[in-house]
Structure formats: structure tokens, C-alpha cells
Amino acid sequence: MAELLGTFEQAVLLAVVRLAEDAYGRAILHDVGACLKREVPAGAVYATLDRLEGKALISSCLEEGTSVRSGRARRYYRLTAAGVNALNESKAALDEMWRGTQWPLGWQV
């Protein structure tokens, strides 16, 4: 079994899945923040994207800029087969850990 993904890595990868063809840095940042319901530092998202690309869980390509962006290029991200497998393994592991436990948990003294 491969190393399980951390919660933030999963959030970033799932944002890439949800955004599909529109998965670029700022869009991923906004999606992760909305999903986690908190302010997320841009540096944390970009560092995670770099780390995930280094692990070959995502790939990226730089696309030409448009007049809307004053000609600046934009980097788009896609899941690789390894990224899909890592997400599936992480979900399966979490489901297994929660199996037999009622949710939501209550505090018992």
C-alpha cells in the first residue's frame, strides 16, 4: 500500500478533480478554501501542488495568456493515474477506519 495522503493533499487533489479543465492555481485555492470553510494561504496550496507534482500525482502545463490576463500565462493541473489511485486508496482507508463507528461522534463521559 502506498503512503496515504494527508487531509490537505486530498483537498487539493479533489479540487483538481472538481475543477477539471479549469484547475489552475487561484481556482484551486478558492475551491480548497470553500471546501474546508476557512481561509487558506496561497503559499500552502502552491507548495502542495509542487509537492504533488513531485510525487507524480498531478501533472501541469503552462498555457498561453489571454488579453483578460494581460498576456500572462496560466498553469493548469490534471490528476495522473497515480493521483487517482492515491485518492482511491486514501478514501478506502478512511472508510475502513470509520467502519462500525456511528457518526457523528458524541461525547461520552
Every domain of the chain and the residues it spans: 7-91
pLDDT digits (tens, 9 = 90+) for 18-77: 999 999 999 999 999 999 999 999 999 999 999 999 999 999 999 876 666 667 889 999
Q: What CATH number has the domain spanning 7-91? A: 1.10.10.10
| Predicted local confidence at residue 64, as pLDDT | 79
Q: How many CB atoms lie within 10 A of CB 37?
A: 6
The mean pLDDT of 2-19, rounded to a whole number, is: 94
Grid cell of 105 as nine digits: 461522534
What local confidence, expressed as pLDDT, does residue 47 receive? Answer: 98
Q: What angle do CA 45, 20, 44 make, to 5 degrees?
A: 0
DSSP class of residue 23 equals -
